[in-house]
């Protein structure tokens, strides 16, 4: 199944994607994760992307579209994929549809996770990620035993550079302006499912399962 996860930053897309990988083993393609690794590795792409990311602005369409197209061409994406954080603009959504049509594929479901704004700011500023295994924690809802250390692998937990309150507010504005219209885009294609994300992770995942398993 080919799935797009929609929803503001902090809606829980990454957390649901983790559970979907565990359950169905389909690849998780997060443009944010790909860009963050490029920044860490100091590649030309990373150097270009970093200033947009730190400001909470979108990296130019051409850059991310190229990234996703080449990732979708890898063999593991043949059995389906979860796109998380892409598309974020109408131009990206159209480019995605064109690329998929060339591969005789389509998006089967766009799952939009809705969460109240104040909850998002609180969630994002409390988010910590393991530098080694990528596991996501919340200091409020899912705190690790030691706030600096991953329960799973002992790796160092850190706060993303763009999870500070000022950048989070800008990311939300960018979302409303550029990405929220994609909900209508996918509704008009008849593949949209809207879920409330103001609930425990497992309750949201029960709905995701109903969508994926039909």
Q: Does residue 19 have an active-site annotation?
A: no
Q: Measuring CA to CA, which residue among 23, 12, 71 is closest to residue 212?
A: 23
Q: Does residue 127 have an active-site annotation?
A: yes
Provide the b/e sequence for 92-124 (b: ≥16 CB within 10 Å).
bbebbbebeeeeebebebbbbbebeeeebbbbb
State which of residues 6, 17, 29, 58 lies at the interface with ligand AMP (CB under 6 A): 58
Count of residues binding ligand AMP (CB under 6 A)?
17
Min CB(150)–ligand AMP separation in Å: 19
Q: Which of 36, 50, 123, 171 is catalytic?
A: 171
Q: What is each CA distance from 189 to 94, 106, 129, 184, in whole angstroms?
A: 12, 11, 35, 9
Q: Does residue 88 have an active-site annotation?
A: yes
List, edge to edge, every strand of the sheet that includes 136-138: 136-138, 127-130, 157-158
**Is residue 132 within 8 Å of residue 113, measured between CB atoms?**
no
Only segment of 52-60, 110-118, 143-151, 206-214 that touches ligand AMP (CB under 6 A): 52-60
Q: Tokens representing 13?
A: 């897309």
Q: Measured from the CB atom, is 57 or 122 closer to ligand AMP?
A: 57
State which of residues 2, 15, 16, 31 lies at the interface with ligand AMP (CB under 6 A): 31
| Residues 118-137 within binding reach of ligand AMP (CB under 6 A) | none
Q: Does residue 117 have an active-site annotation?
A: no
Only segment of 15-23, 58-66, 112-120, 132-140 that touches ligand AMP (CB under 6 A): 58-66
Determine, following the binding rule CB under 6 A, whether residue 53 of this chain makes contact with ligand AMP.
yes
Q: Which of 13, 36, 123, 135 is catalytic?
A: 13
Q: Is 25 exposed, middle or buried (0-12, 13-18, 19+ CB in 10 A)?
A: exposed
Binding residues for ligand AMP, rule: CB under 6 A, are 9, 31-32, 35, 52-53, 56-59, 64, 85-86, 88, 92, 162, 171
Catalytic residue IDs: 13, 88, 127, 160, 171
């Amino acid at each position: 199944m080919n799935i797009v996860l929609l929803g503001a930053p902090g809606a829980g897309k990454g957390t649901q994607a983790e559970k979907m990988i565990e359950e169905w083993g389909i690849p998780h393609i997060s443009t944010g994760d790909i860009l963050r690794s490029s920044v860490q590795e100091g590649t030309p792409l990373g150097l270009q992307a970093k200033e947009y990311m730190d400001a909470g602005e979108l990296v130019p369409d051409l850059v991310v579209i190229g990234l996703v197209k080449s990732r979708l061409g890898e063999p593991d994406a043949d059995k389906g994929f979860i796109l998380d954080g892409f598309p974020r603009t109408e131009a990206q959504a159209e480019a995605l549809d064109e690329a998929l049509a060339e591969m005789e594929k389509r998006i089967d479901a766009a799952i939009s996770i809705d969460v109240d704004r104040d909850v998002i700011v609180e969630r994002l500023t409390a988010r910590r990620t393991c530098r080694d295994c990528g596991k996501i924690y919340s200091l409020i809802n899912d705190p690790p035993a030691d706030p600096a250390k991953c329960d799973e692998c002992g790796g160092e937990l850190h706060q993303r550079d763009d999870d500070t309150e000022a950048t989070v507010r800008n990311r939300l504005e960018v979302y409303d302006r550029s990405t929220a219209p994609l909900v209508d885009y996918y509704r008009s294609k008849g593949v949209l499912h809207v879920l409330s994300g103001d609930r425990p992770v497992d309750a949201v995942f029960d709905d995701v399962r109903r969508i994926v398993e039909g």
